[in-house]
Structure 1
């Protein structure tokens, strides 16, 4: 049951732009844990064990299968069968979990990398726990686990999705020993210009949105403190990018139609400030670029009923059981054609058009695309990039 909620309109500048939900929560998803999970353990194995225990004690489980939910949101490590001596630290995005790397991480381990995926403070348990972290919690955690991995291998790559990309890029500017970057939908700049008000909005309201929690891999709801903390990561990373170029090899994946981030800003920064000649960017959209380091993949795929790529779709294989075309979760557009079920999951998948939120015709049954039709090609490009730059 969702909490009863009154709309609170903010004052001065924010009054013209933002409304938020100020209410007394009834659902335990909207009541925060007593504290953040500890994350400064002296070794990674202790971190894994203590974090799993903490999740079991504090998570509001959505199903009866706690083991599946725990495996989706807990941090994990993949040890390669044929080590190449290097490691990759992966950081997820706002509201997400290590499940974001469920398809990418095994591919990296198969190339010989020791792969570690961390859980950002405030994630993996209940939506209200995003009220707890400050920017420093996320920064300190990423820096600490970079050091733990760097002590274990001969060189570390940093990878990040969305907010995680901001955190690892900022750290890479500060740590000259980082080998390079893997950035997936980097959230350097939000698409919504009103996001800059979120740090101020968090003084007045608790929730940017409250929704039914039915996806065990991530939060559907967003606490305003989480939104504000994300925005601070974007300010930090833009400051670094504005002040200096980044000369280490960087691999980027971006959607032209990304509904969450300003992908045009990100691709411009790649061309202008990420100066290594071996850097590569995969662009999922129709624009062609003069920068020879950029490869474009058309997302105009009517034969597959695909219109565009979304913020999240770049991360997942077409075979992912949760996010594939006919997977466990379908992210329906709010509005559906007259006469069709509002819940598009009741419609056969071959009748649904998939796109970034907002794309397509109102006469079409539409859902947010949540897989990458070019996933295999993307992994081949990433693996070649790493092989060429892992000397």
Structure 2
């Protein structure tokens, strides 16, 4: 080989390396520019308030998992007492508004409700227990979101155990510190309490909403992957966080400037008034990153179960999901969870968009049409879509393809798709129409009623986010969901 021929590969390699160096430099430059813009943008907008800067001292993951339910409840009580004192000391007169959840006399105060639903609780049935249900709430949420479902299980003879995930139910600033390790430890501690209460005799059900669904599945999958006994007979999921958007994966970069005090607000994706008594409106960067890591851990655990050849150990799953969801990737519930399940009696129920003649044309087909093809395929599980009967008939029907069936069965569910609603939302599923806070026809005392607020007027006038008021907060098909859950309970 001539010298020229020998040098050709070196020249090509050198050119490739030079191109790679330029590409890396370009990416680094783009990241630095974006981070710089993010830092500058954080200097605009509202200042941080005490509920953003106070970080309550929760139990760490080791203390949680090595403790028990009674120790958790005692620590939680001390936590809430300290937090209340700290907030009252730090709040300024301008913070004491009629819609601030942290002002004791406000319409949005948790104290205005029949109990402090931000805390962990257990609902015992009036009869001899027939089972135990653990219910896990979602990210930035609180145990309140499991209130109606917990009552449903109690009415059917189950002990309902609803833990508060660390960092939740207190102040948004808590989510700048607490994360998946503490949440997973809390699930483990709660499941130990649940198994104790079953006494090895009663069925154990696990119910998870959003991030709580991912945490519950992760707990079960890890036990199976480790060869441990799975004590859960049934899993019920609502808007499960199987996959989140791509931004959550890299959300940590958005918060880098927060290490410099001047840019502390870059630790937050949203800084909003806190008018919801049981859910944060402000949202920190770290919470987005932790939610992605939970879904990543879940996929790893499911892979481990599959590699062990133990997918048949997973209990039957009943899941409810809106076809459109701005928080999680809705199709991933089908493709990344249900399509991996064995034929074990599982069912996926989708709430479709309103396909009426006036509404369907203004919907984006790229995010609403995927259910049409999904119903054409026979699967190992039952696949159901609840929506309008036709473009001229808003009667709600359930179109179901049973497991391994050739055709689709259609039946009415005794309801209509409301004409003023074009879809469900991620946050709507657990709440019936009479929910005191989120329902269209709220029951209970005179408190803030977010589900009834439907306002029209001029832009840039409201003190709260118009988008948050427009988002559906209750489930018009809750009764159908309730019936399907009750069918999974022992007679």
With the shorter chain as reference, the TM-score category is 0.7 to 0.9
Distance change in 2, residues 1:67/1:45 (3 Å)? farther
Could you tell me which residue of structure 2 aligns to residue 30 of structure 1? 52
Alignment of 1:1-391 (within 5 A): 12-13=30-31, 19=38, 22=42, 26-37=48-59, 39-40=64-65, 42-59=67-84, 60=87, 61-64=102-105, 67-68=111-112, 71-153=116-198, 154=200, 155-175=203-223, 176-190=230-244, 192-204=245-257, 205-243=266-304, 244=306, 245=311, 247-285=314-352, 287=371, 289=375, 290=377, 291=379, 293-298=382-387, 303-325=418-440, 328-330=449-451, 343=462, 367-387=470-490
Is contact 2:338-2:348 (8 Å) kept?
no
* Deviations, residues 47-89 of structure 1 (Å, cap 9, x unaligned): 3343133223215524425634661211110111234442111
Q: Supply the RMSD in Å over aligned alpha carbons.
A: 3.2
Q: What TM-score, normalized by structure 2, do the two folds share? A: 0.66
Q: Mind listing any 5+ residue stretches in structure 1 that lack a counterpart? A: 1-9, 348-356, 359-365
The Cα shift of 1:293 comes to 1.0
The Cα shift of 1:46 comes to 4.2
Farther off after superposition, 94-103 or 270-279: 270-279
SS in 2 for 1:144: helix
Distance change in 2, residues 1:11/1:122 (3 Å)? farther
The Cα shift of 1:132 comes to 1.3
Is contact 2:438-2:451 (8 Å) kept?
yes
Distance 1:228 1:234 in 2: 10
Distance 1:156 1:66 in 2: 30
SS in 2 for 1:187: coil
| Higher normalized helix content (fraction of residues) | 2
Distance 1:381 1:115 in 2: 18
Q: Mind listing any 5+ residue stretches in structure 2 that lack a counterpart? A: 1-27, 88-101, 224-229, 258-265, 354-370, 389-393, 395-415, 443-448
Distance change in 2, residues 1:173/1:26 (3 Å)? closer
Distance 1:302 1:174 in 2: 39
Distance 2:452 2:81 in 1: 27
Q: What TM-score, normalized by structure 1, do the two folds share? A: 0.81
Distance change in 2, residues 1:234/1:62 (3 Å)? farther
Is contact 1:36-1:132 (8 Å) kept?
no
Distance change in 2, residues 1:68/1:52 (3 Å)? farther
Is contact 2:110-2:117 (8 Å) kept?
no
Distance change in 2, residues 1:224/1:156 (3 Å)? same
Number of aligned residue pairs: give it. 359
Is contact 1:22-1:206 (8 Å) kept?
no
Is contact 1:159-1:168 (8 Å) kept?
yes
The Cα shift of 1:199 comes to 3.4
The Cα shift of 1:383 comes to 1.0
The Cα shift of 1:200 comes to 3.7
* Deviations, residues 236-262 of structure 1 (Å, cap 9, x unaligned): 112223442463111111000111110
Farther off after superposition, 148-157 or 374-383: 148-157
**Rg larger in 1 or in 2?**
2
SS in 2 for 1:159: strand
Distance 1:302 1:109 in 2: 29
Distance 1:258 1:385 in 2: 26
Is contact 2:417-2:476 (8 Å) kept?
no
Distance 1:234 1:387 in 2: 31
* Deviations, residues 4-52 of structure 1 (Å, cap 9, x unaligned): xxxxxx9644855994764695410111225225745744244334313
